[in-house]
Structure 1
Amino acid sequence: MLKKFAGVRRLIAAGAVLLAAVSLQPLSTAQAAPSPVVGGTRAAQGEFPFMVRLSMGCGGTLYTQQIVLTAAHCVSGSGPNTSITATAGVVDLRSPSAITVRSTYVLQAPGYNGTGKDWALIKLAQPINLPTLNIATTTAYNTGTFTVAGWGAAREGGAQQRYLLKANVPYVSDAVCQQAYGSSLVPGEELCAGNVQNGGVDTCQGDSGGPMFRRDAAGAWIQVGIVSWGQGCARPGYPGVYTEVSTFAAQIASAASTL
């Protein structure tokens, strides 16, 4: 995904083909950064069965077996929509075992205007029989080390990935994150993660809408963030910014019940 410069979102160009190795336009010399995004390693088949790749070039998770949770900036408003294809069940997007299902409806976060509230739900034409990912309902898990995963670029300005990559990113406080982004950060609706001092680990172009997650008290995965934006990818001093899922948990649950 792209990050916003404060604002470039971590979304690849509209119209990108899901299974192609899509390259973004190169960034200018002043913007370019050689650091590999995520410092990622390849995820094992079945390691994160809730992961979904969306055909507009975003990530997502199975909130239920028929509803995908993603970022608001990945979609264009709310309403009937059969143009999105969700791919799941594989780490290799070219695998013949991939499950593909069309969308039927999109619900973008009410009041979304490009700042904060960066979540959306996509209803699928039929359920996908895979494990879902619970979301955090309190801020108790907004700390420690998180896992991020996606098929986005492995370096700033690079191509989308065929295989799912994963990495770990440490929590960054709002106060430290605001040193990088100032008033562009919306505390209470967004949280930050990454290696502030050295960079090198982050989400990037094409990862928008994917999850940031960690283990809960019982050892199960729980989603605490949605990949949203940031400055470049894995740059020192600029952590990734994520939708704070717990803030919107009740709204997400209510919206999902209407689909």
Structure 2
Amino acid sequence: TMLLRLLCFLVLMSLFSSCSAIPRLDRPREGSADEEVVQTKGDVEELCGIAPNGAKIVGGNEAVPGEFPWMAGIFLTNRGYPRLFCGGSLIDHQHILTAAHCVNQTYHRPQPADLVVRLNEFDISSKDDGLDTLHVNVEKIFVHPLWNEKEFKDDLAILRLEQEVDFDPNLVPVCLPRGDETFTSKSATVSGWGVTKEGGRASSTLRKASVQIEANEDCLLKYDGSVPFQILESNLCASNPPRDACQNDSGGPLVVQGDDERWTQVGIVSWGIGCGDRRFPGVYARISSYIDWIDSITQTTN
């Protein structure tokens, strides 16, 4: 049943299962971490959200290499070979935003040494995709203090990288929302290397899909009684069946392009029922609800 599939995922998570209900599971910079806090806030704000092209995911199209220069692939390395299991986004020189369920569940709590983040990546199966991919180790994992895996509340985490990374046209941070806009009815884009259809295989190349953000009230009505979770103000829902996020897309960014053509991340891929199911939108953590917590992590060096 639908509920059984959802509960199956919660026990085994997307890295280890093929359940249909998901949460959507080297180049150092000179200067000290203290200097980074003082010196780079300006260039983050200046460069964030600028995609060089102006511009798995169910029903989505293949992205262009470098199209989403903030996109991060998070790989588990403690099983003999690197295996992608979640996405994330670069938000400054040293921090990756992702989902809490990617790094903190009862049966899955990787240590920083178990993880490698790939930046400026397109084809995870090829070393020759035309991009200068960075492989960066993780120094520390920060999970939101109110994260609750039974209710999937406050599903976000931050990875602090061992090294700061330099920005270039193919590697820039995504902008974060600073106002109280809900983005309801806005067109948004979700990206990742997840499976391209429910029950299918993961994509080796980065894919994207256009979805529309829905009012939380409408989303709540669609999910009413179907899952043991709530749709909260700190959630955001989006859909465009059959396009959707799916297994291994967890933690990836949902972005909206502004009038200035910059991209702002408004959500983190969190959970849903099935992939691209017309009845159920994808559910995301709403970034604007967590700006204070994000700032508290990125603006300190502890």
Check whether the contact 2:211–2:238 (CA below 8 A) recurs between aligned residues.
Answer: yes
Aligned to 1:148: 190
Shift of 1:141: 5.2
4+ residue segments displaced more than 6 Å: 77-80
Shift of 1:180: 2.3
Aligned to 2:100: 72
- 1:192 paired with 2:237, answer yes
Q: Which has the higher helix share?
A: 2
Shift of 1:6: 7.7
Q: Cα deviation per residue 1:126-165 (whole Å; 9 max; x = unaligned)?
A: 1232200111122325221100000000011221111000
Aligned to 1:21: none
Check whether the contact 1:59–1:209 (CA below 8 A) recurs between aligned residues.
Answer: yes
Q: Cα RMSD over matched residues? A: 2.6
Aligned to 1:233: 275
Aligned to 1:5: 6
How do residues 45-64 of structure 1 correspond to structure 2 at under 5 angstroms? 45-56=65-76, 57-64=85-92
Shift of 1:74: 0.6
Q: Cα deviation per residue 1:69-111 (whole Å; 9 max; x = unaligned)?
A: 0001111289972211101112111343321111110000012
Shift of 1:11: 5.5
Aligned to 1:111: 146
Task: Provide the secondary structure at the position in 2 that maps to 1:13.
Answer: helix
Q: In structure 1, what residue type is equivalent to 2:98?
A: T
Report the TM-score, using the length of structure 2 for normalisation: 0.72
Check whether the contact 1:138–1:247 (CA below 8 A) recurs between aligned residues.
Answer: no
How do residues 151-166 of structure 1 correspond to structure 2 at under 5 angstroms? 151-166=193-208
- For 1:139 and 1:92, the matched residues in 2 are separated by 36
Identity across matched positions, percent: 32
- For 1:192 and 1:234, the matched residues in 2 are separated by 13
Aligned to 2:178: 137
- Bigger drift between 215-224 and 244-253 goes to 215-224
Of residues 63, 67, 70 in structure 2, which corresponds to 1:43?
63
- For 2:117 and 2:193, the matched residues in 1 are separated by 13
- 1:214 paired with 2:215, answer no
Check whether the contact 2:57–2:193 (CA below 8 A) recurs between aligned residues.
Answer: no
Check whether the contact 1:141–1:216 (CA below 8 A) recurs between aligned residues.
Answer: no
- 1:124 paired with 2:165, answer no
Q: How many residues align structurally?
A: 238
Aligned to 1:17: none
- Listed as ranges, the gaps of 5+ residues in structure 1 are 15-23
- Bigger drift between 89-98 and 155-164 goes to 89-98
- Listed as ranges, the gaps of 5+ residues in structure 2 are 22-55, 77-84
Check whether the contact 2:271–2:282 (CA below 8 A) recurs between aligned residues.
Answer: yes
- For 1:202 and 1:60, the matched residues in 2 are separated by 16
Aligned to 2:137: 102
- 1:174 paired with 2:216, answer yes
- Bigger drift between 147-156 and 71-80 goes to 71-80
Kindly name which structure, 1 or 2, has the bigger radius of gyration based on alpha carbons.
2
- For 2:156 and 2:9, the matched residues in 1 are separated by 16
Task: Provide the secondary structure at the position in 1 that maps to 2:91.
Answer: strand
Report the TM-score, using the length of structure 1 for normalisation: 0.84
C-alpha change, 1:37 and 1:105, in structure 2 (3 Å) is: closer
